[in-house]
Amino acid sequence: MKFDIITIFPKVITEYLTVGVLSNAIKKGIVEVNVHDLRKWTKDNHRSVDDTPYGGGPGMIMKIEPVYDAIKELKKQNTVVALTTPKGEELNQKKLMEYSENTDLHMIILCGRYEGFDQRIHDNLVDYEFSIGEYVLSGGELPALVLVDGISRLLPGVLGNEESLVSESFNDGTLEYPQYTKPEEFNGWKVPDVLLSGNHKEIASYRQSLKKSV
Ligand code: ADE
């Protein structure tokens, strides 16, 4: 599975890719993530990626030319071109699972900035517009990472313990039960007795009773 992330702040993305589950997935060759600076596709001296809106109004709009050239260079036959926007379809676990099932997936993710993209980008160049929630962030870098992380960790061989996916929150429509580790007591706060009992049947029914439905 391959992701090409286009951003004006590549550093934000690359740092996250160096730690934890995603870093392992990349090292194992299960996912490939390439990060591109959108300014690479600018042609003017100022390397501009944004400009003022026609008709007036506040803020700056992301220009179509560098985005068009970037997609033209990176897009293959079956590429999904995704774009981050608070107005997009809200991301959820079901969608992440759908994408994770397509192991040949190649996705280009365009990270929004400023007041958004020139509408012609939405209309002509993009297949999937997604939001990570009903709030507005200052850019699409975090949403892009959310998408890549959320898909990658579902791929076979990425998480060390496949078991952790099976019982995991959301996948079975429930939120996981509370977990504890050593010490048995801290600051007067105790681990529930049933978890120390060694009685697997009781532990299982205790955990089941504390799962919340979503
Ligand atoms: N850009 C700004 N806010 C966003 C959000 N909530 N989801 C996706 N992209 C965004």
Cα–Cα distances in angstroms (integers) from residue 176 to residues 99, 116, 118, in the given order: 23, 37, 42
Query: Are both 2-152 and 171-213 of the same fold?
Result: no
Which CATH superfamily is 171-213 part of?
tRNA(m1g37)methyltransferase, domain 2 (1.10.1270.20)
Atom of ligand 1 nearest to the CA of 133: 6
Q: From the CA of 8, how far away is ligand 1's center (Å)?
A: 15
CA–centroid distance, 146 to ligand 1, in Å, is 11
Closest atom of ligand 1 to 138 CA is: 2
pLDDT in tens, 98-139: 999 998 999 999 999 989 999 999 999 999 999 999 999 999
Does the 2-152 domain belong in CATH 3.40.50.300?
no
Close Cβ partners of 172 (under 8 Å, ≥ 6 residues apart): none
Ligand 1, CB within 6 Å, residue ranges: 84-86, 112, 131-133, 135-137, 140, 143
Statement: the pTM of the whole predicted model exceeds 0.85: yes
Encode pLDDT of 131-168 as tens digits: 999 999 999 999 999 999 999 999 999 997 665 666 57
Q: Tell me the C-alpha distance between 145 and 152, whole Å.
A: 10
Protein residue whose Cα sits closest to atom 8 of ligand 1:
131
Helices (H) and strands (E) in the chain, counts: 9, 11
Instruction: Say if strands 189-190 and 185-186 run parallel, antiparallel, or are unpaired.
Output: antiparallel
Query: In the chain, what are the domain boundaries?
Result: 2-152, 171-213
